[in-house]
Amino acid sequence: MGKLEAHCAGEHYDRAGLFDDHPLLTDYREPTSSLFISSRAADPDATLSRLAQLTHAFFDGWRPLERYLNADYPPLILLAEGYGMLLKGPASYVAACATALARDDVRVDPIVPGVTRDRPLAALCFGRSYVTVHFPTQLLRVDAASLRSGPGVGQELV
């Protein structure tokens, strides 16, 4: 078992759960794509705000837009100048961003997805804190009796 990432949002939580299908796992399940723009945004601030809202909705509040933005170039300048790599992330998220940018009349270059990763993953969430992990396949083999005796993957623990 290997930890992929962890985030602590405080010491107290009212719920805990182990999930094999969670917005946090999208980054690890899907191929990574880069989004390049080739025209200016009429209102870079408004466009960036809409992308932040889209990101919040897409990842159910678990991921911020800043995680995916090009760290080497300020996004407002990039949107004002109209060319370069704006962001990089999971293919479905990048496609949603491309659609949103098109609504703002920002031209997006063709998106070429990367390679899909196929490995067993889980997110252990404590309130808004979490640990994402990769499980070796042999750890996922369980018998029916153990599944009946307690919560399993995809169920809340508390």
Instruction: Judge whether 19 lies within some domain.
Output: yes
Instruction: Judge whether 110 lies within some domain.
Output: no
Instruction: Judge whether 40 lies within some domain.
Output: yes
Residues 47 and 19 in one domain: no
Residues 67 and 129 in one domain: no
pTM over 0.75: yes
Question: 140 pLDDT exceeds 70?
Answer: no
Measure the CA–CA gap between 57 and 148, rounded to whole angstroms: 34
Domain closes at, from 58, 78, 103: 103
Instruction: Judge whether 70 lies within some domain.
Output: yes
Residues 135 and 77 in one domain: no
Number of domains in the chain: 2
State whether residue 156 is helix, strand or coil. strand
Torsion angle of C-alpha atoms 100, 106, 107, 111, degrees rounded to 10: -40
| Domain housing 7 | 2-25+118-156
Q: How many CA within 13 A on the CB side of residue 44?
A: 14
> What's the confidence (pLDDT) of residue 10?
81
DSSP structure class, residue 10: -
Instruction: Judge whether 98 lies within some domain.
Output: yes
Q: What share of the chain is helix, strand, coil (3-state, %, to 5)?
A: 35, 25, 40
The 10 Å Cβ neighbour count of residue 65 is: 20
Residues 74 and 51 in one domain: yes
Instruction: Judge whether 83 lies within some domain.
Output: yes
Q: What is the average pLDDT value for the chain, to the nearest integer?
A: 85
The 10 Å Cβ neighbour count of residue 55 is: 24
The 10 Å Cβ neighbour count of residue 81 is: 13
Q: What is the pLDDT of residues 113-126, one digit of tens each?
A: 777 777 788 888 88
Looking only at the bridges linking them, the beta strands covering 155-156 and 2-7 are: unpaired
> What's the confidence (pLDDT) of residue 98?
98
